[in-house]
Chains A and B, each alone.
Chain A
Amino acid sequence: MDPRVALLVGHADDNLVLAQRLGGWISNAPELEEDIALGNIALDHLGVARALYTRAGELEGLGRTEDDFAMLRSEREFRNLLLVEQPNDDFAHTMTRGVFFDVYQTQLWAHLAEDDDPVVAGVAARALKEAGYHLRHSSSWVIRLGDGTDESHRRAQAAVDSLWGYTGEMLDELGPSMAEVWQGAVRSILDEAGLGVPDDGYQHSGGRQGLHSEHLGPLLAEMQWMQRSYPGLRW
């Protein structure tokens, strides 16, 4: 695949997989407002994914549509970051994953908003505003949970400990200068929350090469079963 197309598909996959994950909270969130918030954030990610798949399909020139990318590729063909496919687990995990990813996306979109491709630049410029809004939501929760009760602190710290090992592959992609901004922003949120990062520096990687954790397959099976069972089905 053309590297340019692969890059757009990878970013689209991040957004689609996270949208599907966040959708899992609908009707299960701790309060009604959270149900709505997570549903709204999921919709933003889904919209970005659709626009980027469409653009990737146009650039590729083989006639693939957004649905072909989303619904008819297998696990090994998905190029999303490992972080976004991690299970929702408890609310602290979901919000911590949100902080790590939202800060990454604020860097990514600011960069892509200057892209030579006007379509990508337009999608990125809009997504940049949305990522900032998502981050305000996720960071306010991580701070509240980390700086809350013993139980909420314990859970928030457990979330940081289990997800920290999935941040390295994002930072490698951003490159040193944007990674430094990411580190500064994330660590200041964690400091305010009274949370620390694990000493063990081990980092998982492979998402962009299609090498996923055991969690992506079941997510895709649930998301794609209808298109797989009834090929060509339309609403």
Chain B
Amino acid sequence: MDAAQLPGFAMVTSTPMVEVDRARAVASAVVDPEIPVLTIADLGILRDVAVDGDRVLVTITPTYSGCPAMTQIEHDLTEALERAGLARVEVVVTHQPPWSSDWITGEGRRKLAEFGIAPPVPMSQVLCPNCRAAGPRLVARFGSTACKALMVCDSCGEPFDLFKEF
């Protein structure tokens, strides 16, 4: 008889795989508390999800050294995974390699622009997320959160946030 047809085979071999996929799906859906249109996967903050027995190990990397959202993200991750029935959750914060705005996914960039935040590009290439005009002005290098700068568009007159290239 082929081993794959033995009772219990599918469960034994595929359960860990399914568990890790499920844990990853749950962790990936956690949103950033400061930019709630983006998930932590879109932002590139979520680095790894692993399952070891009944333990779920989630690795995240902060965007900026002082990102005040990290504690909230750790809390939200634990809560979401526990609600999905994954009881023993451990969130590890790693600084190596350091986060880069290049880690924001294409989907993340699209959502940012839709939300009215210019996605990270060199300052000279920024387009107004409202009217798509080129050459907006920098108002303040430091914006409403650590990862943003404040700009204004002279074409449509709208102020907007730029997600800083870092």
Contacts and interface: CB of A to CB of B under 8 A. Distances in A.
Q: Is B a genuine binding partner of A?
A: yes
Interface of A: 33, 36-37, 39-48, 51, 118-119, 121-123, 125-127, 129-130, 133, 136-137
B166 interface: yes
B105 to A, nearest CB: 20
A36 B94 CA distance: 27
Contacts of A41: 142
Nearest to A38: B142
Contacts of A46: 65-66
Main secondary structure of the interface of B (DSSP, over half): loop
Given A123-B65, A125-B97, A137 B166 contact: no
Given A43-B65, A119-B96, 4 more contacts: A37-B141, A37-B142, A39-B142, A118-B96
A174 to B, nearest CB: 21
Given A46-B66, A129-B166, A51 B95 contact: yes
Given A37-B141, A127-B65, A136-B141, A43 B146 contact: yes
B94 A122 contact: yes
Contact of B68 (A43, A125, A137): A43
For chain B, give the interface size range.
20 to 34
A22 to B, nearest CB: 11
14 contacts: A43-B65, A43-B66, A43-B67, A43-B68, A45-B66, A46-B65, A47-B67, A51-B65, A119-B95, A119-B96, A122-B96, A125-B98, A133-B166, A137-B142
Contacts, number: 71
Interface string B88-124: 0000001111110000000000000000000000000
Interface string B64-90: 111110000000000000000000000
Contacts of A125: 96-98
